[in-house]
C-alpha cells in the first residue's frame, strides 16, 4: 500500500527502544500478541510501527500514538466475523482505538485485540489497487517463466505400422 522504502525488518528490541514512558509496557504486550498470532517473517516495521504484511496484503499491526495506542485490523474477514465486538472501538475502516469503555480495563481491550489478531492470522488482508496490479503482473511473469516452452523438445516416438 505504501512505498517499499518505508519498510524495515522487525526487531522487537529496536522497536521497543523507540517507545518511551508508560506506553512501553503496553507496546511489549502488543508485540507479544503479534508474535503469537503471526509468523515472525511476516512482521515488518512500517514508518516506525509493527505491521503484518503477507503477499502485499496488510493484515494487522499497531502504532503507539500520542492519543493512545491504535491497533490495525485490515482483514475484511476478521472485520466481518468480529465486527459487532470491534465496532465500539473503530475509528476508521481498520483502526481500533485502544481506549477502554466504562466498566472495562485495558486488559479487556487487549484481549479483544488479541482475538482479532488471531482471527486475522487465518485470513488475508487489504491491498491497494496499485499493489494488486503489481502483484498480478509479478505472478504472471513468474508463471510464464515456469511454463516457458523448451527449445529442446524430445522428438515424437516413432511407431511401426502394421501392414
| Beta strands, E only, 10-161 | 43-46, 49-54, 57-65, 68-73, 95-97
Nearest to 88, CA basis, from 59, 107, 73, 109: 109
Residue 123 pLDDT greater than 80, yes or no: yes
Share of the chain above pLDDT 70, in %: 85
Confidence class for position 28, pLDDT limits 50, 70, 90: very high
- What's the rounded mean pLDDT across residues 118-144? 82
Stretch 83-87: mean pLDDT, rounded?
93
Tell whether pTM > 0.85: no
| Cα–Cα nearest to 88, from 117, 113, 61 | 113
Average model confidence (pLDDT) for the chain?
85
Helices 76-86 and 106-120 pack at an angle, to 10 degrees, of 160
Q: Provide the residue ranges of all domains of the chain, joining segments of one domain with +.
A: 4-125
For domain 4-125, the question of CATH label 3.90.1150.200 is answered with yes
81-90 long-range contacts, Cβ below 8 Å, gap at least 24? 81/119, 82/115, 82/116, 82/119, 85/112, 86/112, 86/116
Q: Residue 155, exposed/middle/buried by CB under 10 A (0-12, 13-18, 19+)?
A: exposed
Q: Which residues pair with 90 in a beta bridge?
A: 96
Between CA 161 and CA 163 the distance in angstroms is: 6
| 3-class secondary structure, 51 | strand
Mean pLDDT of 117-129: 85
Residue 51, pLDDT above cutoff 90: yes
Amino acid at each position: 500500500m505504501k512505498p517499499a522504502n518505508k519498510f524495515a525488518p522487525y526487531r522487537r528490541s529496536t522497536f521497543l527502544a523507540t517507545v518511551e514512558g508508560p506506553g512501553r509496557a503496553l507496546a511489549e504486550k502488543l508485540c507479544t500478541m503479534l508474535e503469537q498470532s503471526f509468523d515472525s517473517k511476516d512482521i515488518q516495521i512500517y514508518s516506525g510501527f509493527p505491521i503484518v504484511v503477507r503477499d502485499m496484503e496488510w493484515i494487522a499491526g499497531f502504532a503507539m500514538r500520542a492519543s493512545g495506542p491504535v491497533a490495525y485490523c485490515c482483514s475484511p474477514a476478521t472485520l466481518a466475523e468480529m465486527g459487532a465486538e470491534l465496532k465500539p472501538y473503530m475509528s476508521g475502516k481498520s483502526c481500533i482505538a485502544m481506549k477502554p469503555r466504562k466498566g472495562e480495563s485495558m486488559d479487556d481491550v487487549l484481549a479483544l485485540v488479541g482475538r482479532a489478531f488471531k482471527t486475522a492470522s487465518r485470513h488475508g488482508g487489504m491491498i491497494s489497487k496499485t499493489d494488486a496490479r503489481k502483484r498480478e503482473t509479478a505472478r504472471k511473469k513468474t508463471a510464464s517463466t515456469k511454463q516457458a516452452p523448451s527449445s529442446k523438445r524430445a522428438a515424437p516416438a516413432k511407431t511401426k505400422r502394421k501392414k
